[in-house]
Structures are given as C-alpha cells and as structure tokens.
Amino acid sequence: LAGPSPNKTLKVCGYAYTGGGNKIIRGEISLDSGKSWEIANLTRPEDEIAAARGTDKHWCWSWFETEVDVAKLEGCHEICCRAWDSNQNSQPFQLTWNVMGMLSNTIFRIKIHQMKDAEGLDAIWFEHPTMPGAEAGGWMTEEAGKFDASIASEAAAGSTGSPPSRAVAAVWKSEDVAAIGSAAAGGKGSEKGTPVDYTIAGKAVTSTAEWLSNGISMEEVEKHSDEKSVFFVVKGRVYDGTPFLEKHPGGASSMLIVAGQEASEDFEAVHSKAAWEQLEEHYIGRLQESGSATASAVVAVRPSLSNLVGAVLRLLAFPLLNVLWPRLSQLAGALFGPKAPEKVFLNPRLTQQLPLVEKIIVSEDARIFRFALPSKTMRLGLPTGMHIFLKIV
C-alpha cells in the first residue's frame, strides 16, 4: 500500500458461464459483502461466432474485468463476484451442500487480509476459496488465513489507474444494514426507531404554517393532480411527490395515477419499508376531515324518476297508449334517466369494477380471465404501450 510507486488501482477479473446455451449478460463485483454491486466490463468472445452461426446460443466462457481503487480495499473484508445470464438468473449468496459437493453455484468470494510486509509496510493479500489442483491453502480449508509467500503472486495493476465511474448496479438493504441509506441521507432521521415529527415538513419539500397546523383539505389536494404538482394522501397525511416524480422506479406515470387522490391502498400494496421511510421526506400536512357528500352519491338516485313516469303511463287507459308509449318512454329516459355511459371505459384517475365472465384453464399454472365492459358499444380505451392495473375487490 506504500512505497516509491504504489498502485492506485488493481485489476479484478474473472470468467463466467452458464448452461443451456444461455448468454452471460452481466458481471458484477461487490466490496461490501454483497450490499451493493458494481458492473464490470464484459467480453463475450463467442458473440461473433454465434452471429455467424445465425443463433444466439453461447457455450463458452465470458470474461469480466474492472479496476478497483486500492484505497477502498484497505477497509474491505472481501471481494464478491457474480454474473447474470439472459434468463435473469444470478447466483445465491449462501452455499447449499449436496452429496457430491458439486455445482454449488454461489457468489465467488475472495478474502482480503491486512498484514505487514518484509519492510514493515502496510500491505494486503488476497485469499481464494481453494487453490488449484492439489496445492494447499484457501479460506475454505484448514490453512485459512495463513500467508504463504512461496505460492503468492503479485496483484496486477489496473490498466488506466482510475476506477470506472459507474453508478451502483444494485443495493440490498435489511434490518441489520444501516450503512446504506443513513449515509446517503446524511444520517438525518435514518436511525432505527426515530419518530417522525409531523409538525414540520419533510426535508425534500416545503409547506406552509397553515397546512402544518390546520391541515389540508381534500379539495386542495385534488388541485394538484398533474406533472406540475403531485399531491396524494396516505393514511390521512398529505404528501408532495413532485420532487420525486422523475426519480420514481416505476416512472412518473405510476405517481400521476394517484395524483390528487387517496393512495393508501396503492402505496401499501407495492412499497417496502425503505419506501415508507422515504415517504416522510415529502410530508406537507395532515388531511382535514370532511363530511360533505360526493356527487356520485346524488346521481345514484336519479334513475328512479324514469321508472316512476313509466309506471304512471302504464296506468293510463288511453287508446293511443301503444302509439305514444315508445316516444314518451324515450323522452322520460332522456330527461330523468341515468347519464349514458362513456364510449371509453378506462379512466386513468378512476378505479372501476368489471365482472369476471369467463375463466379458461390453459394449463396447471396458467389461466385466461375475461372481463365484460358495461356496454357492448363501449371500447376499452387502452393507449399503445400502456398497461392496466388490476385489483381484486
């Protein structure tokens, strides 16, 4: 780690392969025991051969390589490596033994040990799980942690001397991992068990003294329902999601669906504990209680007037009733009947119910479900490239 010309970076490389002719699509390394992963450069020598054969089958090894900052290795315990194939299969963390002790395809771990070299300078050495052939050594053997200079080889320096500036590929977070998240958030409010102060706005947004003290009405929330301003309600509290609109993993459209609405059920269904913690950063006030009736409840009583007119007409003993009835019934329906259904069923801001009319069993694990629209003349109205969100009620 010291000397006249210490290496700034070290080369970390390896190979990966999988079965069934599947292609390796990604190689990754981790310096924090799998909590976060960085993508390495990947080379597939078989790509040109596969293209010439007119097939996408891959049977040979793929090679991955990257450079690691030596300064980062001083505080590391191990380097972890893993790969992904074209079926999005990766490698498990823990080893599962079988009778033959073969094909235990876990992530590959190289242990890092701190030591003093012959000149008394700080140094690190790397230990693989086992040694090739019949050689002794490896952290999975009885000789674990014992440095043997006779079989050691010098680590290769990085070709550029500068680690790649790539974003982290994946982050894993659990109850016992507090480093990721607390450091990213600056440590504020990330300690386990810290209560949320609802008298102040979240750190990612701004609010008003009136909203924080008196609450926010639902009418005000409904005004913020587009990409310019996104308010939504979760568990009786109002949040401003506008700053997070472009950062949302599901895209801005996932948030715009619930903009200006009550979103407790939708949020609870798909979000993790980490998302709940991040949600409080966007708190702007509590929701005011309102006892006003909705317009839909009033509209629901209108169809009874049409039935009343029809009943009165049926009681009239008039010779021309058979002639006048069709016209009178049509007028009664136009004046007092329920509003005709819209031609397009889907409404991105409204959850509607559809009856299940048919279930087709395709196989043991596949079904086709068919739903009926309210009217045969109505079309679904699903734009190209969009999806439908289904809920079981």
What's the confidence (pLDDT) of residue 285?
93
What's the confidence (pLDDT) of residue 276?
86
- From 140, 145, 125, select the one nearest 76 (Cα to Cα): 125
pLDDT by residue for the chain (393 residues), tens only, comes to 555 556 788 889 999 998 888 999 999 999 888 888 889 999 998 888 877 888 888 888 999 999 988 888 877 889 999 999 999 888 888 877 777 766 678 889 899 888 777 777 778 888 888 877 777 778 888 777 777 766 667 777 776 767 666 655 555 544 433 333 333 333 334 344 456 778 888 888 889 999 999 999 999 999 998 889 999 999 999 999 999 988 888 788 788 888 898 888 888 877 877 888 889 999 999 999 874 433 333 333 333 333 333 333 333 333 443 444 455 455 555 555 555 555 888 877 777 888 899 999 998 889 999 999 988 888 888 888 777 878 777
Say how far apart CA 332 and CA 306 lie, in whole Å: 6
- Per DSSP, 344 falls in state B
- From 130, 123, 90, 88, select the one nearest 109 (Cα to Cα): 130
What's the confidence (pLDDT) of residue 170?
56
Say how far apart CA 323 and CA 334 lie, in whole Å: 18
Instruction: Answer for the pair 345, 381: CB distance below 8 angstroms, yes or no.
Output: yes
- From 149, 153, 125, select the one nearest 139 (Cα to Cα): 125
What's the confidence (pLDDT) of residue 269?
77
- pTM for the structure as a whole: 0.41
| Residue that is written with structure tokens 């039935």 in the block | 307
For 159, residues 6+ apart whose C-beta sits below 8 A from its C-beta are: 11, 67
Instruction: Answer for the pair 162, 8: CB distance below 8 angstroms, yes or no.
Output: yes
What's the confidence (pLDDT) of residue 299?
32
Angle at 335 between CA 333 and CA 337, to 5 degrees: 45
- Per DSSP, 156 falls in state P
What's the confidence (pLDDT) of residue 292?
42
Helix axes 303-315, 321-336, angle to 10 degrees: 160
Q: On the CB side of 11, how many CA atoms lie within 13 Å of its CA?
A: 13
